[in-house]
Structure 1
Amino acid sequence: MTNWKMKSAGYLTNHMTRLFFQGLRDEIAPLGIAPAQFMTLLEVWKADDLTQKDLVERLDVEQATMANTITRMERDGLIERRPMPSDKRAKAIVATEKAKAIQKDAIDAAMRVNRSFLEVLSPDEQTQLLDLMRRIVENKTQSKG
């Protein structure tokens, strides 16, 4: 890598993101899910009464992207859309038994990827890195709104 790349937060963040994505993709592929599906399932596993709009807001993705992800997940038997008791026009996104059956393995796979990337850092450095990343994300998320 050239020197300017090693001094660019944008370049390093992008490069590290691609490496994380590839690592996660490789780890969860045997479970029949992709990273975008995993990200969505993490929210759906927490609550069975989320709408597509809720997922868009929680995951900070475009509406069209979420619609495509949910369509693929429904096709793959990972989620079902059910009427919301409070609003029959809205649909709740619910994890299927198939999705629930892979929850532990998927989370374990993601934890392995995180550990493999962070193992080069001491525990204190890991905490510091995550704190700094959260601060940047929170700052930029707030400035968007």
Structure 2
Amino acid sequence: MSHFKDQSAGYLVNHLARLMEQALAEAIGPLGLSPGQFPTLLALWERDGRTQAELVREVDVEQATLALTLKRMERDGLIRRKPNPDDSRSRLIYLTPHAKALEERALALAAGVNDSALADLDDKEVPHFLSLAARMIQTLRKGSD
């Protein structure tokens, strides 16, 4: 890597994210899942029955990107949409029984990818790294408000 690459948080985080996405794809692919679906699944496993607008905010993606992801997830039998009783202009997104049944295995496989990526860090470095990454995310979220 050039000196700039070594010193660029953006480059390093992006490179790390690409490598982790590849590893996650290999791990969860046999379940019929893709890394692009994973943030939405995590949000719905945490709290099912969200609107698309809520998911856009939670997952930090553009509305059009999420719309395509949801369309594929619906095609793949992972979600279903129901009318929102509180707002006739929106629909609530729910996991199918199939998607709910995948949660435990998918999370275990993702944890394995995380464990592999963090394997060379010691017990103090792991929480420090995670804390720093979370702070960076919060900082960038504040900047886009």
TM-score category of the 2 structures, normalised to the smaller one: over 0.9
Moved over 6 A (4+): none
CA offsets 1:52-102 (integer angstroms, 9 cap, x no match): 111001111000000000000000000000112222332110000110111
Measured in 2, the distance between the counterparts of 1:84 and 1:4 equals: 49
Deviation for aligned residue 1:131 = 1.0
Measured in 2, the distance between the counterparts of 1:72 and 1:102 equals: 17
- Structure 1 spans left out of the alignment, 5+ residues: none
Measured in 1, the distance between the counterparts of 2:41 and 2:56 equals: 13
| Corresponding residue for residue 4 of structure 2 | 4
Measured in 2, the distance between the counterparts of 1:134 and 1:38 equals: 18
1:1-145 aligned at under 5 Å gives the runs 1-145=1-145
Measured in 2, the distance between the counterparts of 1:8 and 1:83 equals: 45
Measured in 2, the distance between the counterparts of 1:86 and 1:65 equals: 25
**Structure 1 pair 7/89, CA: closer, same or farther in 2 (3 Å)?**
closer
Measured in 2, the distance between the counterparts of 1:24 and 1:118 equals: 14
CA offsets 1:108-132 (integer angstroms, 9 cap, x no match): 1110000000010001101111111
Deviation for aligned residue 1:40 = 0.5
TM-score (norm 2): 0.95
Measured in 1, the distance between the counterparts of 2:89 and 2:7 equals: 50
TM-score (norm 1): 0.95
